[in-house]
Amino acid sequence: MIAIRVPALRPNHLLGGTAVVCAAIAIWPWLFPPVPATRPLATVPASAPAPALAPLPPLASFSAIVERPLFSPSRRPPPGATTASGPLVASRYRLFGVVATGPKKRAFLADGARHVDIAEGDRLDGWTVKQIGADSVLLSSPEGEAVLQLKPAAAEPPAKPQ
């Protein structure tokens, strides 16, 4: 009989075999890509109509919010606050300029990006311009009066020395 002599396995042989097995596992998806299971496409259900919204209660029912502001420590409106509708117009419009040339006075208001030029007697969203002062505008409506005050521009931060 012929004796076959098997060489002794060394750690290098084991590491080489492990590297070949890992390489085969790594390239297997490229050689034989998995076949995705075919499923029927999901149908998009027809969207239901939006539910009808209940009508809002009248604006007067929210007067408690103005009378007792939540974020004021004293839970009282700031001094000089006007009627319930006054703060609404005062929060919407910002007075940013008044021009007086002789008896004519004009005020410049901003409503977001929209700018409005008004004079005494003009109407603005149901409000009448009653009086234009040096730094304020008095608006009146059947609901009451509101005052828009001219506020100074925010101070710019000082420039850093270079």
DSSP bridge pairs for 128: 123, 140
Q: Which residues of 85-118 are buried (b: 16+ CB within 10 A; e: fewer)?
A: bbbbbbeebebeebeeeeeebbbbbeeeeeeeeb
Q: Note the pLDDT of residue 39.
A: 72
Indicate yes or no: pTM above 0.85: no
> Per-block average pLDDT, block size 10, for the chain (162 residues)?
76 90 92 78 68 76 75 74 57 86 87 86 88 91 86 62 62
Q: Note the pLDDT of residue 50.
A: 73
Please give the domain boundaries of the chain with CATH numbers for all domains. Answer: 82-149 (2.30.30.830)
Q: Note the pLDDT of residue 17.
A: 92
